[in-house]
Amino acid sequence: MSYARNSAGVVAVTVIAAVIAGCSGSSSGAQSGSGSTAPAQATPAPTESNPPGDIPDNQVYVDYQPAHGFSGFTVKVPEGWARTDKGGTTVFTDKLNSVTITAATASTSPTVASVKNTVVPQLSGQVTKFASPKVSQVTRKAGPVVLLAYQGDSAKDPVTGKVVRDAFERYVFYRQGHKVDLTLSGPVNADNVDPWRTVSDSFAWR
């Protein structure tokens, strides 16, 4: 009888151990399955190759020389941009960017001080929400030139009514009584450093 009871006890322990092992394996399997079916991360949104206002890297530039008025200079402008002439000013535009060229006579060479004292006050009354003027002397291939950098609001788009915050670079070139203002503008966040350098460096007296 003692042997039978011992045998029964061994069988009971074996069964309990098997049940525990089975439960443990089932739990482990559930955890493993849960890990393998975790949801995948969302696909990142595509990056824009040409954000609004950016001039394409493959933009072609062509020489421009005025046909009327003072024509003693040339400057490269983006090919294919719309052109508007008004008096001594020529404007090339495309989407949100523009290149404005104005030739005039001047008795003296512009300086950092003269631009601060005369041009900045004029623009503050002409440019909507004019701000952050910075005047400095820089060097381009044509030689030393006065640069006025500032910001302002664009005109309201006639179709969408949208207004864009623009950044401006206005270069003042001078030689022998002639002054040429070269103004480059585009949205504040556009990366147009290289295109604007290409245009401003291309200016040459003739």
- Using CA atoms, how far apart are residues 25 and 31, in angstroms rounded to an integer? 10
Q: How confident is the model at residue 51 (pLDDT cuts 50, 70, 90)?
A: low
Q: Would you give the DSSP letter of residue 88?
A: T
Q: How confident is the model at residue 149 (pLDDT cuts 50, 70, 90)?
A: very high
Q: What percent of the chain has pLDDT over 70?
A: 75
Specify the amino acid at residue 101.
I
Residue pointed to by tokens 């495309």? 94
Whose CA is closest to 203, among 54, 77, 55, 60? 77
* Residues 128, 136 contacting (CB under 8 angstroms): no
* pLDDT surpasses 70 at 6: no
CB atoms near residue 144 (< 10 Å) = 11
- Using CA atoms, how far apart are residues 78 and 56, in angstroms rounded to an integer? 10
pLDDT digits (tens, 9 = 90+) for 153-200: 998 888 888 899 999 999 999 999 999 999 999 999 899 999 999 999
- Using CA atoms, how far apart are residues 179 and 172, in angstroms rounded to an integer? 7
Q: What is the pTM of this model?
A: 0.74
pLDDT digits (tens, 9 = 90+) for 72-120: 999 999 999 999 999 889 999 998 999 999 999 999 999 999 999 999 9
* pLDDT surpasses 50 at 139: yes
Q: How confident is the model at residue 53 (pLDDT cuts 50, 70, 90)?
A: confident
* Half-sphere exposure for 181 (CA within 13 Å, toward CB): 19
* pLDDT surpasses 80 at 142: yes
Q: How confident is the model at residue 29 (pLDDT cuts 50, 70, 90)?
A: very low
